[in-house]
Structure 1
């Protein structure tokens, strides 16, 4: 943004420069913004304004830019997302002017959003679904009236957590393909991250394949598992769609869920009801039917979730 100094440099020296300076002074004194500022500070005289002409020019120019804000990415002010604020103080009979840069509302909103996102880790989840968590509650409620009961239950859980703190039980969202289960969980993560909770969401089919590679990187495996144990909110997305192995089921998932029981909530989305998921966990391609092991891990899931059935149209076919 052009400063007053730059503006005056383009003005020929001599009498013309004096005339131009006087014109700028008259324009500033007539500006409603300066008039309001002077009404608030009657001790401010024209001599002080003349001495601080650059400050007042910057103040007015940036205020006008903010009135017609083109967005943060195209902010014309000297310091993106900030504007100049003037302060006037009386010291020993004289008037002293100060200016400082203040963050605008859009800059603060962006900072808050970045802080919220920094609390959320995702593995193999479409970033679009995660970032759309900023949708309003009204939009989520009216997006598909067929799932309004499920959305209401989700909202109740969010409100309960905001009011009473982290719960020990999570949610199990069951429903057909494309009904928005992942999106609803991303919304939950986003809303609870606003009040300081950390979260991890994992797309199970890809995650399980990655875990097999991590067997040869024990340090990375431990770091990943520890993060899932300790995060406030853990979401296993599309559970039941993974190609399960006994090691993943018993040692990785079993260890994570065993640690989180009675401590922190775990959430799930699935195309399976709980009984069908138990059958999935009871059979592996390596060891075949292991019903008791399926029952054991399901005890760590079934006992610590409230089931929500998500109905509605398949959004992916739109």
Structure 2
């Protein structure tokens, strides 16, 4: 019985088969993905190419999969969510796989959700988009300003965000969901937290030792959305050491913060002035509000209560 190597030698000596292999190899080598990869590895020679044809075919196939990406859930690559990189190791072809931006975003989201329960957002909010958003006359101006923010936000260069004010159920959070998805298409990271749950969670984090990790994550995300601020039970510690610390860092780093609230600026300042030690602390509340006012555009969201349908 012939060995595999002997059989391969016989095949290669077959002129017809050799011609077909040569044509296939030339077609492969003229592929733009393959050419670009070979140019980045000038030490690869003809012998390396012939010995590494299988890897070259794999590289081309999976590169085109990435170019026409059907989404992470339907990724056809052997390693779902990973894209190939052609490299040379001592002149031999090899492939390394790196997570694509969709895989990195999913992993980061899972890590965030494992760390913070208050990041849970209803599915309908996560799926909101400006294409499907109900932009009736009452909400047209708010949708326009939200879309303008999503299209032009530049974290690190411009820290101005939005403050969506409106009564209960008018769709403020849905608008923020559309903002998040528009930012995602620009590969800008965002995070939305339901503020009352977030502040309760931060209190508990003191006991389990995760406080600083959670605080740092919220402080440093490119775009932060604090949903329903003012609905929480306020305390001096929450106001000064949590909210104040977050806003101060984001202001200095020019990272946009967006808010939704049933309170306008003046009503929120009154809410933040409450002291659990008795009385009010108007100066401390004013300091917080100055940061919010200076770095947000106030937007009124009108309309009927959509949750009462």
Q: TM-score range by the shorter chain?
A: 0.5 to 0.7
* SS of match in other structure, 2:304: coil
State the match for 1:260 in structure 2.
250
- Quickly say closer, same or farther: Cα 1:168–1:308, change in 2 above 3 A: same
> Contact between 2:189 and 2:222, CA under 8 Å: does it hold in 1?
yes
- Quickly say closer, same or farther: Cα 1:115–1:311, change in 2 above 3 A: farther
> Contact between 1:171 and 1:307, CA under 8 Å: does it hold in 2?
yes
> Contact between 2:135 and 2:143, CA under 8 Å: does it hold in 1?
no
Match of 1:280 among 271, 277, 280: 271
- Quickly say closer, same or farther: Cα 1:146–1:303, change in 2 above 3 A: same
Give the whole-Å Cα distance in 2 for the aligned partners of 1:317 and 1:262.
Answer: 41
Listed one character per residue, the Cα deviations across residues 86-124 of structure 1 (whole Å, up to 9, x for unaligned) are x93469xxxxx9865453846346566555555555624
State the match for 1:202 in structure 2.
193
State the match for 1:40 in structure 2.
none
Structure 1 segments unaligned to the other structure (5+ residues): 1-46, 53-86, 92-96
> Contact between 2:158 and 2:256, CA under 8 Å: does it hold in 1?
yes
State the match for 2:239 in structure 1.
249
The answer on 1:128 being equivalent to 2:123 is yes
The answer on 1:150 being equivalent to 2:145 is no
> Contact between 1:129 and 1:182, CA under 8 Å: does it hold in 2?
no
CA RMSD of aligned residues (A): 3.4
Give the whole-Å Cα distance in 1 for the aligned partners of 2:190 and 2:283.
Answer: 31
Structure 2 segments unaligned to the other structure (5+ residues): 1-15, 28-52, 74-80, 82-100
Task: Quote how far apart the aligned CAs of 1:166 are.
Answer: 4.9
State the match for 2:202 in structure 1.
211
The answer on 1:159 being equivalent to 2:151 is yes
**TM-score scaled by length of structure 2:** 0.64
Match of 1:292 among 280, 283, 288: 283
Match of 2:24 among 65, 88, 95: 88
Listed one character per residue, the Cα deviations across residues 158-206 of structure 1 (whole Å, up to 9, x for unaligned) are 22226x9752111101001111111211221222133232222111111
State the match for 1:182 in structure 2.
173
Listed one character per residue, the Cα deviations across residues 115-174 of structure 1 (whole Å, up to 9, x for unaligned) are 5555555624423144214x3x3322x443420111001111122226x97521111010
Give the whole-Å Cα distance in 2 for the aligned partners of 1:117 and 1:286.
Answer: 42
* SS of match in other structure, 1:138: coil
The answer on 1:238 being equivalent to 2:233 is no
- Quickly say closer, same or farther: Cα 1:160–1:196, change in 2 above 3 A: same
- Quickly say closer, same or farther: Cα 1:117–1:238, change in 2 above 3 A: farther
> Contact between 1:166 and 1:265, CA under 8 Å: does it hold in 2?
no
Match of 1:138 among 131, 142, 154: 131
Give the whole-Å Cα distance in 2 for the aligned partners of 1:161 and 1:253.
Answer: 22
> Contact between 2:170 and 2:303, CA under 8 Å: does it hold in 1?
yes
Give the whole-Å Cα distance in 1 for the aligned partners of 2:108 and 2:185.
Answer: 9
Match of 1:301 among 266, 289, 292: 292
Task: Quote how far apart the aligned CAs of 1:250 are.
Answer: 0.9
Give the whole-Å Cα distance in 2 for the aligned partners of 1:265 and 1:210.
Answer: 23
**TM-score scaled by length of structure 1:** 0.63
> Contact between 1:144 and 1:313, CA under 8 Å: does it hold in 2?
no
